[in-house]
Structure 1
């Protein structure tokens, strides 16, 4: 999932944490011979002979892989249980198009300076390509490219929106929380604005939805941006993000297609029950996405503490969906970003596109839809989604543009093993709730995942660092 460019230029955007010196754990077992079990990242599913493990890790996304890699490097016996038929979780590189891998989940390293994912990418030999926040072409609702006057108006309303939110955070001494939209509309005296200006304010609000994946009607105006910034460039992987997860998984024991149903624990250890059998261990690291925790599909034996249940209930799980379109030729502007200002009645629809040709040298466009509209179109057919995307492109580039030769579409909210894209701070939640979500239960049950990282939620590096934190709790 991507992070927005305009927010960082106003000091309100992407954040993270300093890298931990944990990469050394990946240096152990480099040839895949240090962990018991299968020598491939994903073992074939089937009947299981559970036995007992030192540590059971629930989920082979990057947080689970990070925890397992670290613990294996410390000589621990680790078993990963993964519901899907692949590793990676919300990192998912599709190989559907031969020679053109596309990332259906996470795409970027957001801030390469002192970022542990940068270190992993270098270790994996993964090529990185920068996307430039200033390389963008803006289009108006009528399809015309924004002229200087229109660009000035776009920037003016972006700054006004950002300032309204910053002022609310600075002056809100009584800490009464409300939504991002309500704060902006009140500060800008929404009823007095012309429809054109309302469209531009809405365009600015949609930036926040793409950044944080939550609806501005639900996003906390006090805490939506409570994460911390990592400096450096934003980079993509032309060869796919799987290069990072493959590196971490090398030599680990992973059982795919094992859907966890219940996690129990007592003074004697832990039991993780799946649809293919029960597994015993001394510790468990739970890396279930927030959306899965909210769904209640996984039961917890003695029950979760009240503060952890409150955090699960009050934090938000957002949606950011992708639609890749492959064309026979390039017909669009040669900039990294294509931005489209829709009419008010089409708020949030096909506003942001990335030019795949600049990254991978192929005629591919990637359209994003976030929050409410991103969730809505999950109920549409593929043909309806592609037609909606093409409607926007035809408005800009004309009705004679070629039809796509193929497409790839995500539906993250409908995915039973994700139930959303990444977490956000919802009205009524607080940053401290992420600490409560991360807190271990006794000495046996540990939690990781991007939603547990107070300073770097909704990022790959946050998910990775959460796995290291959980592993350190066990290894000491």
Structure 2
């Protein structure tokens, strides 16, 4: 008889959730985590005396969100910050035009109206797309239609919208626009405000995993499906269980870092091959004083000034110190990973000085991520690459032979690339192992009782 009922591989949000639900149901559960910490792609740096979320930051839409309900049930403080998803308007944004000049309120309003019009044309182009079309294909068709209208936008405004569409894909998928399927953003909707976590987002998986048997720095090399369940080989020994839930990032699966014996069935292997893993890196810059407008959620550069570093988010409320967060994603994100921290920060500061001139002081602190180089993620999050579909996300969950299950953001088609998707997928995996539904309201209450 195997020593464990279920082995969960990965102690991120999905793994911690699945393991806690199974343990609360009375199962013997072991969690194997390659890193030296819990949280996975939820990683908070607190060394400076405040929280810097180097991985996930937001709940993207709190309306009807089970993740938001969990955060509330656990009394996690949050701050409303509704520009986490890339959007043209919706909150105060300091816009700069292609010459690096601050746009007036009327000019910004016209820009938002231009994007809204282009988005309507884009929705129509997507609805008429055919298999194999990329997001680049449909955006170009939409923009071409706008150029041929009687009230056509001038070429400069069209180019700014083109750049906006490119950056939107990079920021939301970590991918080049030509690598994303035409339907790649179909499920990317935000319902309600977005929030961030001043104490750090990784408090959530840490509290969920408290009390579980979590073995850190155990790198899984092979998973064999055997007569009585599964055999999991790590660099620190071999473990056996009746079932296993694999929650490693899609990038790890695509890299073949874990061998499966026998090989994964096509129903699981094919989605792994088709889906994409994007690169999305963060760069935080802390300044000695604030130089940007009061009340602005974000700063955005249109046209040439925003070719690379195109938007900055004011996250000063987290630390109480003047801090901007900017992103390097897709091909540019991979390029930034080749730079030193000094060079990356200097490049971003130079981009800010194209907008604010010498008012921009040298930063006094910085934090830079390199998720694409992380051997335990090989990227930031999944996306619908050309030739794949949102159905591939759910197909990836398996199970294989009734004993090998998969969870994580890449396995949740309704909300991929999010912590909410990871949470939901972990609950689904636990339900499949148990053969019955789980009560997520009772789940949160159980965590609170254990902490009392």
TM-score, normalising length: structure 1: 0.84
Query: Counterpart of 2:58?
Result: 108
Contact 2:126 2:138 in 1 (8 A): no
Within 5 Å, which residues of 2 pair with 1:464-475?
464-475=423-434
Query: Counterpart of 1:399?
Result: 358
Query: Counterpart of 1:293?
Result: 253
Within 5 Å, which residues of 2 pair with 1:90-129?
90-98=41-49, 100-129=50-79
- Verify: 1:88 aligned to 2:39, yes or no: yes
Query: Counterpart of 1:188?
Result: 143
Q: 3-state SS of the aligned residue for 1:232?
A: coil
Query: Counterpart of 2:370?
Result: 411
Q: CA deviation at 1:214?
A: 2.0
Query: Counterpart of 1:41?
Result: none
Query: Counterpart of 1:40?
Result: none
Hey, what's the Cα distance between the residues in 2 that align with 1:177 and 1:159?
Answer: 26
Q: Give ranges in structure 2 of 5+ residues lacking alignment.
A: 83-89, 149-153, 436-452
Within 5 Å, which residues of 2 pair with 1:61-80?
61-80=12-31
Q: 3-state SS of the aligned residue for 1:185?
A: helix
- Verify: 1:271 aligned to 2:217, yes or no: no
Contact 2:276 2:382 in 1 (8 A): yes
Hey, what's the Cα distance between the residues in 1 that align with 2:350 and 2:188?
Answer: 37
Within 5 Å, which residues of 2 pair with 1:438-457?
438-457=397-416
TM-score, normalising length: structure 2: 0.88
Q: CA deviation at 1:152?
A: 4.3
Q: CA deviation at 1:407?
A: 0.6
Contact 2:125 2:139 in 1 (8 A): no
Residues 373/163 of structure 1: CA separation in 2 closer, same or farther (3 Å cut): same
RMSD: 1.9
Query: Counterpart of 1:209?
Result: 170
Query: Counterpart of 1:281?
Result: 241
Hey, what's the Cα distance between the residues in 2 that align with 1:101 and 1:342?
Answer: 33
Residues 359/146 of structure 1: CA separation in 2 closer, same or farther (3 Å cut): farther
Q: Give ranges in structure 1 of 5+ residues lacking alignment.
A: 1-50
Q: CA deviation at 1:230?
A: 5.6
Hey, what's the Cα distance between the residues in 1 that align with 2:103 and 2:414?
Answer: 36
Q: CA deviation at 1:195?
A: 4.4
Q: 3-state SS of the aligned residue for 2:59?
A: strand
Query: Counterpart of 1:304?
Result: 264
Hey, what's the Cα distance between the residues in 1 that align with 2:43 and 2:357?
Answer: 33
Hey, what's the Cα distance between the residues in 1 that align with 2:164 and 2:402?
Answer: 48
Query: Counterpart of 1:384?
Result: 343
Contact 2:398 2:404 in 1 (8 A): no
Contact 2:230 2:241 in 1 (8 A): yes
- Verify: 1:138 aligned to 2:95, yes or no: yes
Q: CA deviation at 1:400?
A: 4.2
Contact 1:101 1:238 in 2 (8 A): yes
Contact 1:321 1:368 in 2 (8 A): yes
Residues 292/161 of structure 1: CA separation in 2 closer, same or farther (3 Å cut): farther
* Superposed CA offset, 1:23-77 (max 9, x none): xxxxxxxxxxxxxxxxxxxxxxxxxxxx821110000010000100100110111
Contact 1:434 1:453 in 2 (8 A): yes
Within 5 Å, which residues of 2 pair with 1:237-252?
237-252=197-212
Q: 3-state SS of the aligned residue for 2:218?
A: coil
Contact 2:44 2:52 in 1 (8 A): yes
